[in-house]
Amino acid sequence: MAADLYSVDGKKVKTVELPEQFSEAYDLDLIQRAYRANRLHQFQSSGAYINAGQGVSAKLSRRRRDYKGSYGLGISRTPRKVLWRRGTQFGWVGALAPGTVGGRRSHPPKSEATYLIKINKKENQKAIRSTLAGLAQANHVLLAENGIESLQKAKDVLKFLSAVSLSAAETRRSKTGKAKLRGRKHSTALGPVFIVSKDCALRTAARNLPGTEVHVVNHLNVGVFMKHPDGHFRQTVWSQEALQLLQNKRLYFPSGAGKQ
């Protein structure tokens, strides 16, 4: 398979043959498995506060003739808090127990719960190669000369994207529900992704472009290239040096695993 190589000015220079990683058999099931494993490794643990629903004094004595006891009154053993009293007569309401209003949950989510899915290293490498093949088949691979990694301003990156008929994501929508309270009120559509050979100026230049990401070639995963795990790929722009590194070091092949 081949892809077009563009200059930093957005002019087509030539057509370049893609490395053998882009010739892997396309396997959507394998890609989805690797995508799910990657997303679950980014999952942030959450759970209930250990003392949630237990902020009331609702302990009652079950012993005979104890003051403020419930023995012999023909009531259930549900913990209760006192709302009023008249001598040794008390007005109670159920509290603290899972079956009462405002009480604790019987089986709340546990922060120590593990939702991770393990995937074999060779299987994950094959999934990445399969994703690259899907990108090539969908014609979502575009090559840029090495000068792309030296761009230092966002306007220069926008100028390049415009010249090659790409653009940063502009779709932005407001979320509903709890997201507004937790600092993630808006969601932005995913735009193009740049693949570079090393940590370079482009990572800073593209940082403020909505939906645009920059990743180093030897730290890729399936989620980098996916808009949705059902086979919707992102437009990718590879620097010429990153493509050469992918080919020369045979990245994401078992034989080249030690060189990553």
Q: pTM of the entire structure?
A: 0.80
Q: Which of 39-43, 163-167, 189-193, 234-238 ranks highest by mean pLDDT?
A: 234-238
For residue 65, pLDDT beyond 70: yes
Domains in the chain, please, with CATH? 2-43+120-259 (3.40.1370.10), 47-114 (no CATH)
On average, the pLDDT of the chain sits at 90
For residue 126, pLDDT beyond 90: yes
For residue 1, pLDDT beyond 90: no
Largest CA distance in the chain: 96
For residue 260, pLDDT beyond 50: no
Name the nearest CA neighbour of 233 among 245, 244, 222: 222
- CA-CA distance, 123 to 137, in Å (whole number)? 21
Please report how the helices 28-41 and 121-137 are oriented relative to each other, as an axis angle in degrees rounded to 10: 120
